[in-house]
Amino acid sequence: MNTVNEMTVVFESRSVNESFARSSAAAFVAQLDPTVGELNDIRTAVSEAVTNCVVHAYKNTIGKITLNVRICEGNVVFIRIRDKGCGIENISQAMEPLYTTSPEDERAGLGFAVMQSFMDDVKVRSSVGKGTTVTLMKRLIPRLNDV
């Protein structure tokens, strides 16, 4: 799929950056003239993925998070969130709704379930001790002026 436009930002895994991450992804996607609902879905999914990096990947440490947003032909958006943190031992278990390793922090265990239901596709690659890459895909509804 041909890339039309792309941006990358790198930031530290501080919880204050969760809002920076979702806002910058949404600001970049805004050029496609998405609906309010689509933009809200993207904001929410990015927030979940970045929170996972802050809470789990870099638990008790500060590391770098890379957010890459790619706009492809046909109004398709790919968003990649990458960390070099602890990695996930069992990805399918981590993706189960309500599964959490941080109940004391009131984590609901819904992060991946939200990403899956708010986006069209979610892919997770992880290597223990090396990090995790989450790739989110959303196909935006074509706008009238594109047809």
HEC string of 79-113 equals EEEEECCCCCCCHHHHCCCCCCCCHHHCCCCCHHH
Interface with other proteins (CB under 8 A), residue from 28, 48, 57, 77: 48
Which residues have a catalytic role annotated? Answer: 48, 52, 107
Least Å from the CB of residue 74 to other proteins = 25
Please identify, using beta-carbon distances, which residue of 7 and 113 lies nearer to other proteins: 113
Question: Can residue 107 be called a binding residue for other proteins (CB under 8 A)?
Answer: yes
The answer to whether 129 and 87 have CB atoms below 8 angstroms apart is yes
Least Å from the CB of residue 111 to other proteins = 6
Interface with other proteins (CB under 8 A), residue from 34, 85, 111, 131: 111
Interface with other proteins (CB under 8 A), residue from 32, 34, 42, 43: 43
| Whole-Å CA distances, 114 to 23, 74, 101, 105, 125 | 18, 24, 17, 18, 18
Question: Can residue 108 be called a binding residue for other proteins (CB under 8 A)?
Answer: yes
Amino acid making up residue 58: Y
Please identify, using beta-carbon distances, which residue of 89 and 106 lies nearer to other proteins: 106
CA distance 48 to 62: 18
Q: Which residues bind other proteins (CB under 8 A)?
A: 15-16, 18-19, 22, 36-37, 40, 43-44, 47-48, 51, 54-55, 105-108, 110-111, 113-114, 117-118
